[in-house]
Structure 1
Amino acid sequence: MSVLSDVLDLVFRRSMKGPISTSFDSTDLPHLMEELLSSKGEITGLMTAKRILDGYAAMNDDEKLEFFDTLADRLDIDLADVDSSLAAFRAQPTGRAYEAFLKAAEPRRQELARRLNRVPDATRQLVEMRADLLRLVSPDSASFRIDCDFSHLFASWFNRGFLVLRRISWESPAHILEKIIRYEAVHAISSWDDLRRRVEPEDRRCFAFFHPAMPDEPLIFVEVALTKGIANSIQALLSEQRQPLPSHQADTAIFYSISNCQAGLAGISFGNSLIKQVVNDLTAELPGIATFSTLSPIPLFRRWLKSQGIDVAQLPKDQLLAAAARYLTSARRADGNHYDPVARFHLGNGAVVHAVHADADLSERGLNDSAAVMTNYLYDLSRLEQNHESFANQRQVAAAPQLQNLARTFQPAEVLRDA
């Protein structure tokens, strides 16, 4: 079967080189979708799938919106079939009845996506299609329900078992390095020299997850600094003048930047698995590394201060740090979840809020978002599961005693009165 598949794939690739004709009419899509869903022949199905994907790639935004409407309306579940198949299963819960119910309850567009995904490079195209959906369609729109289908399929297709961890080094292919520069979302990489300082020295590491169907597209990557002690300034970590530390002398790994690369995979969680895998790899490579910590931004801190009626310019440095500690341990959204997205990520992974630092990020973004304050989340491997369960179930924030004490010293009433 493997040989037959290879032959069919070769025939398909030779027969379908290049994009479809520019005379493609988007009104043909409903017919092509039905043709693909009813197709029994593999080559015919592949050719039809490629026509749909190439046709979609040629669309403007208005045509893409029509495409999503078509997916939502024409390939939705049939409520009558769902009701009748569920009634049949309740009356006689056999395997066949259960299978019939599952088939009725699944929108036909999920099977369409599976068949589209048989085309070489289709996985990347479908991820880009979901990115378009998230960009163009309002979450309140009826058509947005098809995002549930994308999310359902991608959660399976991008399961941790399929992901490959690769170290990114200065010797990595140039097209991969270019994407690391482009996708860096926390601390912008200003030049090739800047990138080289982050991946070449022996006290620097960069790791990324890849998927076999998208081998040239990083899904998420993390940048790591090997240090002595926990870092308290991004300027110091990224300084052009710093002297590299021999890796065998390091006792701490600092995760200072985690960047998701694919907008179409929003909500598909990789970060937890990435950090755990990197911790395992670093522990095996460098047994002297005993501490794993982040140096993280606090992106909504300044916005929260403003919402409390506090002018950051009026805060002395000790009260600024106390306010940051209070924010990280206590700030909540209206729905009860933690206010800060970075905090939600690391606390959800089981980390501990360890410390806060003033003047830690003097970039324009750092000043505007967090008044230059940064924090460390400590990954204590012996307590990750316990901390995760407490945060997930009771919304309890794991924080170091010194940070809890600092939070209690924040006196917003006095700050407001002085202002």
Structure 2
Amino acid sequence: MKQYLGLELPSDKAQDTGHEEEGSTLSPGGLKFLSIIRADILSILAEENIASLRALDSYLKEKLITWLSPASLELRQITWDDPASVLEKIVAYEAVHPISNLTDLKRRLGVGRRCFGYLHPAIPGEPLIFIEVALLKNVAQTIQEVLWDDPPIPEDEATCALFYSISSTQPGLAGINLGKFLIKRMIDLVKKDMPNISVFATLSPIPGYMQWLLSKLASAERSGSTFQENILEPEEEKALLDASVEIAGKNGMEVMWNLLTSTNYEWINSDRLVSVLKIPLMRLCARFLLQEKKRGKALDSVANFHLQNGAMIGRLNWMADRSGKGLLQSGGIMVNYIYRLENIEENAQSYFSTGHIHASCDIHCYIEPLKEHEETTD
């Protein structure tokens, strides 16, 4: 296990004597090489569960976590003046909202915007992970406000730091939560430099929502009337059928399926269909985020990431991302996660230990409108 492809990994003895960080740089490019190896291993394991590779992956992950401790990472603001090689990495690895051109990149690094990256001395000039931040007066409800509205407000008028994209540049670091430390250090840095900022929030995609909803609709149709789950409320189904007389379907769920799977998302061009779909899609999205779990944790990967970092679910935003990707992932809905500094540790601990999800009253009211919730934070 100590060797792989002729590369000698640092011994456990080095770790015991406190030199584990040096072990990652014994050979030039060693840390980068190990990250590439682990990326290859993860790719193979995605296709076939090989016990020996699973064990090697576990070993490499443990070592990488040790070498990539927060103390070994440098937080740096990335600006337009950085070397082209760094800027190229930002463009290439932006995973949430692709950067369309140099003008787009310059705006994301300019006035009213920030980009911070974590760098490691063993991989100089290449951020391992980076976060993009917008300085705003209020928590944004649409991605258009962040990416395309112009001009930005003066920075001294901003009261909200909104992080709208977190991207990793190293597939081999999957499962190593560098984002948790990056967010906390970024918040500390912004608070120090800009005391007028009091709100820290995200505008996040919900990548698992539409896949979950369509599987529910398909399952309900296959099960027949006897065991069919009631996805739609009676008034929602009636409104949907009334508004979509030209759409084939024997019931509201079949009509919804046909609308949501239409190739060109024609429904977003009809004000009436957008209006009638809003109520069930927002209600079911709240259910997905609050109640759908995997091993006791949020089913949605982005939700799980922010909740385990101590955020709470703040607000659902209708038609917040009308791009093809946004409609495919979540019917255009996005969500704000709120980071309240005084609650971060408590929220993270309760989520870790019990799977408890902290959310605002607005979120709970989508699925239980008349009930007051002990966990609600105003």
Q: Which band: TM-score by shorter chain? A: 0.7 to 0.9
Q: Is the 8 A contact 2:135 2:159 kept in 1?
A: yes
CA displacement at 1:117 relative to structure 2: 4.6
Aligned-pair Cα RMSD in Å: 2.7
Structure 1 pair 409/317, CA: closer, same or farther in 2 (3 Å)? farther
**Please, which of 304, 313, 317 is the counterpart of residue 278 of structure 2?**
317
Q: Distance in 1 between matches of 2:69 and 2:23?
A: 19
Structure 2 residue 325 is the aligned partner of structure 1 residue 365: yes
TM-score, normalising length from structure 2?
0.76
Structure 2 residue 288 is the aligned partner of structure 1 residue 327: yes
The number of residue pairs the alignment matches comes to: 308
Identify the residue that residue 181 of structure 1 maps to in structure 2: 91
Q: Is the 8 A contact 2:316 2:335 kept in 1?
A: yes
Q: Which sections of structure 1, spanning at least 5 residues, go unmatched?
A: 1-29, 38-48, 54-70, 76-101, 107-113, 411-419
Q: Which has the higher contact order (CA 8 A, sep 6+)?
A: 2
Identify the residue that residue 40 of structure 1 maps to in structure 2: none
Aligned residue type for 1:181: V
CA displacement at 1:139 relative to structure 2: 5.6
CA displacement at 1:406 relative to structure 2: 1.8
Q: Distance in 2 between matches of 1:389 and 1:115?
A: 32
Q: Is the 8 A contact 1:117 1:126 kept in 2?
A: no
**Please, which of 25, 28, 36 is the counterpart of residue 120 of structure 1?**
28
Aligned pairs for 1:384-399 within 5 A? 384-399=344-359
Please give the secondary structure, in 2, of the residue aligned with 1:382: coil
CA displacement at 1:215 relative to structure 2: 1.3
Identify the residue that residue 229 of structure 2 maps to in structure 1: none
TM-score, normalising length from structure 1?
0.69
Identify the residue that residue 301 of structure 1 maps to in structure 2: 209
Structure richer in helix, relative to its length:
1
Structure 2 residue 207 is the aligned partner of structure 1 residue 207: no
Q: Is the 8 A contact 2:25 2:122 kept in 1?
A: no
CA displacement at 1:214 relative to structure 2: 0.6
Cα deviation per residue 1:45-78 (whole Å; 9 max; x = unaligned)?
xxxx9x946xxxxxxxxxxxxxxxxx9xxx9xxx
Cα deviation per residue 1:244-282 (whole Å; 9 max; x = unaligned)?
111110000100001111001111111111111010111
CA displacement at 1:408 relative to structure 2: 2.3
CA displacement at 1:407 relative to structure 2: 2.6
Aligned pairs for 1:345-360 within 5 A? 345-360=305-320
Instruction: State the identity %.
Output: 39
Q: Distance in 1 between matches of 2:146 and 2:353?
A: 35
Structure 1 residues 301-310 or 371-380, which shifts more? Answer: 301-310
Structure 1 residues 124-133 or 153-162, which shifts more? Answer: 124-133
Structure 1 pair 325/220, CA: closer, same or farther in 2 (3 Å)? same
CA displacement at 1:136 relative to structure 2: 2.6
Q: Is the 8 A contact 1:181 1:189 kept in 2?
A: yes
Aligned pairs for 1:210-289 within 5 A? 210-239=119-148, 241-289=149-197
Identify the residue that residue 22 of structure 1 maps to in structure 2: none
Q: Is the 8 A contact 2:24 2:67 kept in 1?
A: no
Q: Which sections of structure 2, spanning at least 5 residues, go unmatched?
A: 17-21, 218-252, 261-275, 371-378
Please give the secondary structure, in 1, of the residue aligned with 2:298: coil
Structure 2 residue 94 is the aligned partner of structure 1 residue 134: no
CA displacement at 1:116 relative to structure 2: 8.3
Please give the secondary structure, in 1, of the residue aligned with 2:190: helix
Q: Is the 8 A contact 1:324 1:407 kept in 2?
A: no
Q: Distance in 1 between matches of 2:338 and 2:67?
A: 31
CA displacement at 1:146 relative to structure 2: 0.7
Structure 1 pair 230/297, CA: closer, same or farther in 2 (3 Å)? same
Identify the residue that residue 16 of structure 1 maps to in structure 2: none
Please give the secondary structure, in 1, of the residue aligned with 2:297: coil
